[in-house]
Amino acid sequence: MKIKYALAAVLMVGMAAQTWGQEAPKTKTRGQAHPGDASSYIIGADDVLLVSVWKEPDLTTTLPVRPDGNISLPLLNDVPAAGFTPMQLAANITEKLKKYVADPRVTVVVTQINSRKVYVTGEVQRTGAIQLLPDMTVLQALADAGFTQFANTKAIYILRTENGKQTRIPVNYKQLVKGKASGQNIILKPGDTIVVP
């Protein structure tokens, strides 16, 4: 009788281990970074950062990224921030703080994303800057801005500056909403300006 119980226990443990072995990879993939995660966000001017140094309250601060792309930190003065991910910036600050703090542990958190904006101007109800959301299209931005009664929706264009050169991308809103010009519903980039004549 005892042998039967022992065999049953061994079989149950074996089955549990087998099941656990099959489930483990699923759990691992959930924690891996994917494109578009916060870990891949590139810091830009006007973003607000929380720079936290563990057990060093005098070095922990919340501050904006200046237009020149730098932040000012105690002991370190100006530190370049724009163009780095939060993890890269934390690593840079950690390295610089080693002169002043034993075993510094730095965390950088983007508390406000202000650098990713597009602009809408012309015959729209709300001109100005719009916060650029991930994969935001021209149609979504126009829906946010709204048209005036005088808008020429066939002659909209996007002004985009890349590598110091400005390009003009035409957008025919009437064709776009009919599904005839889906290629014109492009994904916007930071700094794009949508002009509605």
Which pLDDT belongs to residue 8? 44
Residue at which a domain ends, from 112, 140, 172? 112
Do residues 132 and 85 share a domain?
A: no
Q: What would the pLDDT profile of 79-120 be if each residue is shown by its tens digit?
A: 999 999 999 999 999 999 999 999 999 999 999 988 899 999
Is residue 79 located within the same domain as residue 122?
no
Do residue 106 and residue 126 come from a single domain? no
- pLDDT above 70 as % of the chain: 80
- What does the pLDDT look like over 113-126, one tens digit per residue? 888 999 999 999 99
Same domain assignment for residues 124 and 89: no
Q: Among residues 96, 112, 128, which one ends one of the domains?
A: 112
Q: For the chain, what percent of residues have pLDDT higher than 90?
A: 68
- Note whether residue 156 is domain-resident: yes
Q: Is residue 126 part of a domain?
A: yes
Q: Note the pLDDT tens digit of each residue in 29-75.
A: 333 333 345 568 899 999 999 999 999 999 999 999 999 999 999 99
Kindly state whether residue 15 falls inside one of the protein's structural domains. no
Q: How remote is the C-alpha of 185 from its chain's centroid?
A: 21
DSSP 37-57: SGGGPPP-TT-EEEEEETT-G
90 with 126, same domain: the answer is no
In a domain, residue 44? The reply is: yes
Domain count along the chain: 2
Question: Helix, strand, or coil here: 71?
Answer: strand
pTM above 0.95, yes or no: no
Q: Is the dihedral of CA 188, 189, 190, 191 positive or negative?
A: negative
Range of the domain at 85: 38-112
Residues 163 and 95 placed together within one structural domain of the fold: no
Tokens matching residue 77: 């003065």
Is 78 a domain residue? Answer: yes
Boundary residue ending a domain (63, 78, 112): 112
CATH number at 133 reads 3.10.560.10
Token pair 């939060």 is found at: 86
Which domain CATH number covers 54? 3.30.1950.10
Same domain (yes/no): 127, 190: yes
The rounded distance, in Å, linking the Cα atoms of 30 and 144 is 33
